[in-house]
């Protein structure tokens, strides 16, 4: 089982900084959301490998929507 | 020869403006002040929508002989129509209401308390201004700079202390733009490193459309009953919000937040600039007002973060006290500052939505604070 990374706030995905299969360290930026005209980097809660990316750039996301999985 | 003399005196007439200006150093200073506001707006991107018309209005009114704020001047006409009547700030408020989402606040009602705490600076500053010898009405107009909300400050000072209007509005708008610089040092100083790093749970509780529609109505009626003097401010912001949340008057909502707000911002800015004549602005009072206004905003931040610390304690460490800084009404600048600061100490901390709740609370809080002060003054028989 992996770790789900969810959106902490509603916003628009403006950048996906990783690709599936990539290994990441804790606190690495995974995705950049734009919320309230502000860029918010969403970081890895733990080290691991990006398993599945569930959104694409320009997608609108809601709070708690799962963005990607890390295993 | 006569022709030549007539021509010379005609040409001489063209220099009259320069002579007047040379004789009045204060107008020259004000031309530089206008230039400084333009520079801040254009080059530094500080509230350009306001500082550009204000700065230019300031230059216009300080050019001698044109007398644009005289009885027949066009700046005077705009001023009398919209500022002396308090109409401009109220029209802007409809737009602000139409732009504000109270969702994060309603999802997390405790953040409303932060919006209230963020107004304490206003009251402390009023007391300080009284102490420094300002009259009661002047002190209220100065304290309201701490609302960190341009239209509220303009509304209150144009109604009760119009002679302070130029200083108060310039202070309110410039400090609003400086929030990202003024707040962080206070926030850092007041919180422990453990507090700074608290990551708050995401708020996902959806707020129903009915709640969002009832909110402006309930606040208007309650606020109107408690502080009738502030009902124009509260009523206009809530009208805009009800229009937005009802979703049935999209055209009016759009007009309020775009066309009306834009037109009024232009007229408001240029006539505020028009009040900045040398005689009204170059006085020691202005410097004291600028200093007191700055203090008011610092105190708001101190009280907001202080109350955030209390909430943090009561919640067993679930609340990050930094969000208290968003309790002032500089919307949404203060909320962004909180997100940035929290993120600086813990990359996994996302405070934006919590701060937005406090910030929306501050928006209403500052209006209520102004309303309460006015109603208290009315109760004391100081104003009619």
Which of A3, A4, A6, A9 to mutate to test binding with chain B, by most B CBs within 10 Å of its CB? Answer: A9
Residues in chain B: 384
In chain A, what residues touch B335 (CB-CB under 8 Å)?
Answer: 36
Q: CA B266, B280, B120, B379 torsion: positive or negative? A: negative
Confidence label for B384 from pLDDT (cuts 50, 70 and 90)? low
Interface test with B, best of A63, A65, A66, A67 (most B CBs within 10 A): A63
CB B289 within 8 A of CB B323: no
Average pLDDT of span B15-40: 91
* Residue B98: C-alpha distances to residues B29, B90, B214 (Å): 39, 13, 15
Residue B349 vs residue B229, higher pLDDT: B349
Residue A3 bridge partners (DSSP): A70
Shortest Cα distance, chain B CAs vs residue A3, angstroms: 14
Backbone angles phi, psi at B104, to 5 degrees: -60, -30
CB contact under 8 A, B204 and A63: yes
Closest B-chain CA to A42: B348
Contact state of B202 with A41 under an 8 Å Cβ cutoff: no
A43: nearest CB among B202, B347, B353: B347
In terms of CA atoms, which chain B residue is nearest residue A62? B204
Q: Cβ contact (<8 Å) for A6 and B356?
A: no
- Averaged pLDDT for residues B337-366: 93
Distances (CA, A) of B382 to B153, B164, B224, B376: 19, 18, 20, 9
Using the CB atoms, write b or e for B141-166: b if 16+ within 10 Å. Answer: bbbbbbbbbbbbbbbbbbbbbbebbb
Q: How far B24 CA lies from chain A's nearest CA (Å)?
A: 45
Most A CBs within 10 Å, among B204, B343, B357, to test the A interface: B204
Contact flag B204-A64 (C-beta cutoff 8 Å)? yes
Q: What is the pLDDT of residue B204?
A: 65
B342: nearest CA in chain A? Answer: A40
Q: How far is the CA of B262 from the CAs of A64, B44, B91, B254, B255, in angstroms?
A: 36, 21, 10, 11, 9
Minimal-distance CA residue of chain A relative to B351 = A8
CA distance A7 to chain B (A): 9
Q: Is the pLDDT of residue B108 over 80?
A: yes
Q: ∠ at Cα B121 (B362, B133), nearest 5°?
A: 140
Cβ neighbours for B200, distance < 8 A, ≥ 6 positions apart: B318, B319, B320, B323, B349, B350, B351, B354
Which residues of chain A have a CB within 8 Å of the CB of B352?
8-9, 35-36, 38, 40
Residues contacting B182, CB < 8 A, separation 6+: B175, B294, B297, B298, B301
Q: Who among B203, B332, B343 is closest to A63 (CB)?
A: B203
Provide the pLDDT for residue B207. Answer: 87
| Predicted pLDDT of residue B140 | 92
Structural element, H or E, at residue B241 = helix B231-246
Compute CA B2 distance to the chain's CA centroid, rounded to the nearest angstrom.
59
Using a CB-CB cut-off of 8 Å, the residues of chain B touching A41 are 343, 347
Taking an 8 Å cut-off on Cβ atoms, the answer to whether A9 and B332 are in contact is no
- State the DSSP string of B25-81: HHHHHHHHHHHHHHHHHHTS-SSHHHHHHHHHHHHHHTSTTT-TTSTT-HHHHHHHH
Q: Report the percent of chain B where pLDDT is more than 90.
A: 64
Q: What is the ipTM of this complex?
A: 0.94
- Residue contact B339–A45, C-beta within 8 A: no
One digit per residue, the tens of pLDDT, for chain A of length 71 reads 689 999 998 899 999 999 999 999 999 999 999 987 789 999 999 999 999 999 999 999 988 899 999 98
d(CA B138, CA B284): 14
Q: Do A64 and B335 touch (CB under 8 A)?
A: no
Residues B294-328 have pLDDT tens digits of 999 999 999 999 999 999 999 999 999 999 999 98
Q: CB–CB of B271/B65 below 8 Å? A: no
Distance between CA atoms of residues B322 and B324, nearest Å: 5
Number of other CB atoms surrounding residue B212 within 10 Å: 19
Asked if B356 lies within 8 A of A8 by C-beta distance, the reply is no
Confidence tier at B380 by pLDDT (50, 70, 90):
confident
B348 contact residues in A (CB cutoff 8 A):
27, 43, 45
Beta bridge partners of A32: A15, A41
CB atoms within 10 A of CB B202: 15
Residue B132 has a CB neighbour count (10 Å cut-off) of 13
| Mean pLDDT of the residues in chain B | 91
Q: B interface toward A at CB cutoff 8 Å?
A: 202-204, 332, 335-336, 339, 343, 347-348, 350, 352-353, 356
Which token pair is B130?
Answer: 């009284």
């Amino acid at each position: 089982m992996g770790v789900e990374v969810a959106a902490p706030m509603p916003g628009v995905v403006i950048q996906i900084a990783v690709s599936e299969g990539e290994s990441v360290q804790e606190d690495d930026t995974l995705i950049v959301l734009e919320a309230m005209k502000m860029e918010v980097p969403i970081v890895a809660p733990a080290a691991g490998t990006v398993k599945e990316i569930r959104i694409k750039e320009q997608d609108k996301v809601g709070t708690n929507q799962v963005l990607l999985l890390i295993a | 020869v006569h022709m030549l003399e007539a021509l010379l005196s005609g040409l001489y007439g063209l220099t009259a403006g320069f002579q007047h200006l040379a004789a009045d150093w204060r107008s020259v200073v004000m031309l530089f002040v206008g230039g400084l506001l333009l520079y801040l707006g254009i080059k530094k991107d500080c509230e350009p929508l306001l500082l550009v018309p204000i700065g230019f209005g300031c230059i216009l009114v300080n050019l001698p002989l044109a007398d644009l704020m005289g009885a027949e001047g066009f700046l005077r006409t705009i001023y009398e129509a919209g500022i002396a009547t308090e109409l401009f700030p109220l029209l802007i408020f409809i737009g602000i209401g139409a732009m504000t989402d109270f969702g994060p606040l309603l999802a997390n009602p405790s953040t409303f308390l932060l919006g209230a705490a963020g107004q304490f600076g206003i009251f402390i500053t009023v007391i300080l201004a009284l102490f420094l010898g300002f009259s009661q009405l002047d002190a209220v107009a100065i304290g309201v700079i701490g609302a960190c909300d341009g239209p509220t400050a303009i509304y209150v000072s144009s109604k009760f202390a119009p002679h302070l209007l130029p200083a108060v509005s310039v202070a309110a708008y410039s400090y609003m733009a400086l929030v990202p610089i003024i707040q962080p040092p206070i926030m850092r100083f007041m919180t422990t490193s453990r507090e700074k790093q608290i990551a708050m749970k995401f708020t996902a509780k959806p707020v129903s459309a009915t709640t969002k529609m009832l909110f402006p109505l309930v606040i208007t009626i309650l606020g109107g009953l408690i502080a009738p003097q502030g009902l124009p401010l509260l009523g206009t912001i809530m009208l805009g919000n009800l229009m937005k949340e009802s979703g049935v008057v999209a055209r009016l909502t759009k007009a309020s937040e775009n066309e009306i707000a834009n037109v009024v911002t232009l007229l408001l800015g240029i006539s505020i600039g028009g009040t900045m004549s040398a005689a009204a602005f170059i006085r020691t009072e202005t410097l004291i007002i600028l200093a007191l206004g700055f203090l008011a905003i610092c105190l708001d931040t101190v009280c907001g973060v202080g109350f955030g610390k209390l909430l943090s304690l009561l919640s067993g460490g679930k609340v990050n006290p930094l969000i208290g800084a968003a309790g002032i009404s500089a919307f949404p600048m203060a909320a962004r500052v909180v997100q940035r600061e929290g993120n600086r100490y813990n990359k996994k901390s996302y405070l934006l939505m919590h701060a937005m709740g406090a910030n929306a609370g501050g928006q209403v809080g500052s209006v209520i604070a102004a309303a309460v002060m006015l109603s208290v003054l009315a109760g004391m028989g100081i104003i009619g």
